[in-house]
Amino acid sequence: MAIAMAGALCSAQQKNNYVLDFKDTGVKIQPTMYGIFFEDINLGADGGLYAEMVKNRSFEFDLPLMGWTQPNTDRLSLNEKSGYAHVVEYKKAGNKNYIRVDVKDDKGYSLINEGYRGMGIKEGDAYNVSIMAANPDGKVNKINFQFVDEAGAVVASSSVSPSSKEWKKYTVQMTADKTVAKGKLKVSFAGTGSINIDIVSVFPQETWNNRPNGLRKDLVQKLYDLNPGFLRFPGGCIVEGRTLEQRYQWKKTVGSSDDRETLINKWNTEFSHRLTPDYFQSFGLGFFEYFQLAEDIGAEPLPILSCGIACQFNTAELVPLSDLDPYVQDALDLIEFANGAVTTKWGKLRSDMGHPKPFNLKLIGVGNEQWGPDYIDRYKIFEKAIHGKYPAIKIISGSGPSPDGEFFDYGWKQLKELKADIVDEHYYNSPEWFTKNAARYDNYDRKGPKVFAGEYAAQSVATVSPENKNNWNCALSEAAFMTGLERNADVVTMTSYAPLFAHADGWQWTPDLIWFNNLESYATPNYYVQKLYGTNAGTNLISITADGKPVTGQNGMFSSAVVDKANSEVIVKIVNTSGTAQKAGIKVKGGKLATSGKMIVLKNSDLAAENSFTQETVAPVENTIKTGKGSIDTEIPAYTFAIIKVKIS
Ligand code: AHR
């Protein structure tokens, strides 16, 4: 339906004449141009990127045994049960509860963890199991671990002997002899007596860079493949929290992962149509790990911090200006954590966690998606403190949740007057909005703050509709819109699609860039659009025009062009949103091309096409094309995003 509108007016094989001008526009494509927005939504962190397989491993959810079952004991009285788990409070700061297990007889008492909508177990893969245990009476002599499949059959097993009366960590490895999509972990005990247990953990041995407490390898690989310029974390609205108390506090996410205090995830009950009552944040993936991830994938880290306003869609709680100091201090301390010498308090913690070298933080976000005078009042205080101490750090400020309207206009006006560095804009809109807005930035003030298109995604039905699809129509409209981001790279210096990840069985928000289950993941058409931009970003903007005007939808065609000076290459992006193949005759001005090049094509004749775990219907295909020294004559098929790359001779 959507983008076809332009195509309906086109005749078949229409010829489009373009001029590709090598003249230096003076605009550099910033290395941060195409980045990643990460938020722990849709089980993006716990249950997703963070490779821990045990849900509620330390019994810290609001219901301490959520995620755990004790089979065959439910309907029995205490006397009849062959075992029982009691929740005990330690009252330790980060880790409040543990479990005392009373094993009363040898009739097979066990605790079963259901994982995050099951556990993905792969045949032949090794898994690292660990448990904290204190065995005061020494009467329980073994703790057995088993992976069981959907029918309860054992597919891996191992055990530890809890030898100490005091708390001690026991580790063991087990290897699976079958692949299981929705397995479980069964913990059982040999002997009769009481034993205390906590932090029951299972990680695949193979994580990204094989780190303990690590990240899922396939998911990080997909991020790496985007060639991202930055990694924004940890959100999104979870930065703000439903209440101020539930805001994201980075200091509680660093140090030993065992001591990080679990917190309810804002997306737990956000949407009544997608309730996720078992969604909590273990912070196993915390700020140190985010910085490390950014470094691993070659992206600038971009942490976003609470500015003292809880989510304005929820409680909108406000910290009085007079009480804002601790919030501001968190920002200053974070910069010290990232960049400070190992002799500083927070720099030492970074070093103790294994990274003596600074993370070289250059960007920080103040607030996520706030609006109105309360935001501006708080932004001013943060700005003064951050730039007072760290003048080189660039601050990302926000213009609210919409790309226009009262809040947006107010925010921009104020931030311009305050000479803000970079302003974040968010747009979740229809595919039509995206194609119509390809010229959005053409008339932006060149002397004002830079723009961070920080959250955007075309919505096939409506914003937050659970029916939204990652279809080709949406992805194609984003590709068209992005020609406008690129053409305005002097103003727009950072961009990111949102949200990033979604668990196929545990999501709250759709569309999302990458979908996964517990075994595998797939790239959406939108992912490939991002990847093609990220891996073909170039270094310098040049112009491509039709009749002297930018190509912003004439005949349903959109285009932008860059030069990659390092590779001596010209890269032209052309998007044909029409339903007809169109000829493109590109005349080269001010330079000469090699006589052949590459054309990478992302296309599908069906705008409703989607990718899935089993089928990739929209994926890039690369071909060699012939070019003239002074021109490129080609045809762009219907509904196509094409990238033409030719060496400059
Ligand atoms: O990306 C999902 C949500 O959309 C983000 O958390 C928020 O910033 C925006 O409203």
Q: Using CA positions, which residue lies closest to atom 3 of ligand 1?
A: 236
Residue 269's identity, in one-letter code, is T
- Cβ atoms of 195 and 100 within 8 Å: the answer is yes
CATH code that applies to domain 36-51+207-534 = 3.20.20.80
68-204: which CATH architecture? Answer: Sandwich (2.60)
Determine the atom of ligand 1 nearest the C-alpha atom of 426.
Answer: 9
- Distance from the CA of 509 to the center of ligand 1, in angstroms? 9
Which residue spans of the chain are classified as CATH 2.60.120.260?
Answer: 68-204
Give me the residues of the chain with pLDDT under 70, please.
1-13, 72-76
The count of other CB atoms within 10 Å of the CB of residue 389 is 12
- Distance from the CA of 401 to the center of ligand 1, in angstroms? 8
Q: Using CA positions, which residue lies closest to atom 5 of ligand 1?
A: 236
State both tokens at 73: 């004991």
- Distance from the CA of 301 to the center of ligand 1, in angstroms? 19
Which residue spans of the chain are classified as CATH 3.20.20.80?
Answer: 36-51+207-534
- Cβ atoms of 579 and 639 within 8 Å: the answer is yes
In DSSP notation, 139-188 reads -EEEEEEEEE-TTS-EEEEEEE----SS-EEEEEEEE-SS-EEEEEEEEE
Angle, CA 301 vertex, CA 231 and CA 463 arms, to 5°: 35
Whole-angstrom distance, CA of residue 579 vs CA of residue 14: 12
Whole-angstrom distance, CA of residue 520 vs CA of residue 462: 28
State both tokens at 477: 């409209």
- Cβ atoms of 45 and 613 within 8 Å: the answer is no
Of 607, 612, 463, 461, nearest to 524 (Cα)? 612
Collapsing DSSP to helix, strand or coil, 375 comes out as helix
φ and ψ at residue 444, rounded to 5 degrees: -65, 150
Q: Using CA positions, which residue lies closest to atom 1 of ligand 1?
A: 499
Collapsing DSSP to helix, strand or coil, 559 comes out as strand
Residue with structure tokens 């205090």?
261
- Cβ atoms of 473 and 4 within 8 Å: the answer is no
If you ran DSSP here, which 8-state letter would residue 29 be given? P
pLDDT tens digit sequence for 148-182: 999 999 999 999 999 999 999 999 999 999 999 99
Residue 51's identity, in one-letter code, is A
φ and ψ at residue 166, rounded to 5 degrees: -90, 170
Which of the listed residues 37, 38, 39 should we mutate to test ligand 1's pocket, taking the one with most ligand atoms within 8 A of CB? 39
Per-residue b or e along 607-636, where b marks 16 or more CB atoms closer than 10 Å to that residue's CB: bebbbeeeeeebebeeeeeebeeeebebeb
Angle, CA 575 vertex, CA 476 and CA 423 arms, to 5°: 70
If you ran DSSP here, which 8-state letter would residue 244 be given? S
Angle, CA 257 vertex, CA 253 and CA 260 arms, to 5°: 50
- Cβ atoms of 90 and 96 within 8 Å: the answer is yes
Which of the listed residues 266, 279, 428, 468 should we mutate to test ligand 1's pocket, taking the one with most ligand atoms within 8 A of CB? 428
- Distance from the CA of 183 to the center of ligand 1, in angstroms? 32
- Distance from the CA of 499 to the center of ligand 1, in angstroms? 7
Whole-angstrom distance, CA of residue 330 vs CA of residue 341: 17
Active-site annotation holds for 369 = yes
Collapsing DSSP to helix, strand or coil, 272 comes out as helix
* Helical pair 406-417 and 373-389, crossing angle rounded to 10 deg: 30
- Cβ atoms of 175 and 124 within 8 Å: the answer is yes
Determine if ligand 1 sits within 6 Å of the CB of residue 499. Answer: yes
Determine the atom of ligand 1 nearest the C-alpha atom of 455.
Answer: 1
3-29+540-648: which CATH architecture? Answer: Sandwich (2.60)
For CA atoms 251, 257, 262, 264, the dihedral sign is: positive
Angle, CA 621 vertex, CA 617 and CA 626 arms, to 5°: 150
Q: What is the pTM of this model?
A: 0.97
Q: Using CA positions, which residue lies closest to atom 6 of ligand 1?
A: 236
Start-end of H helices in 150-248: 217-225
Angle, CA 615 vertex, CA 613 and CA 616 arms, to 5°: 105
Determine the atom of ligand 1 nearest the C-alpha atom of 39.
Answer: 6
pLDDT tens digit sequence for 577-612: 999 999 999 999 999 999 999 999 999 999 999 999
Of 39, 4, 32, nearest to 533 (Cα)? 32
Determine if ligand 1 sits within 6 Å of the CB of residue 258. Answer: no
Query: Taking the C-alpha atoms of 118, 123, 127 and 129 in order, what is their torsion angle to the nearest 10 degrees?
Result: 60
Which residue spans of the chain are classified as CATH 2.60.40.1180?
Answer: 3-29+540-648
Determine if ligand 1 sits within 6 Å of the CB of residue 468. Answer: no
Cis amide leading into 277 (omega within 30): no
Q: Which of 270, 369, 455, 569 is catalytic?
A: 369
Of 209, 570, 452, nearest to 354 (Cα)? 209
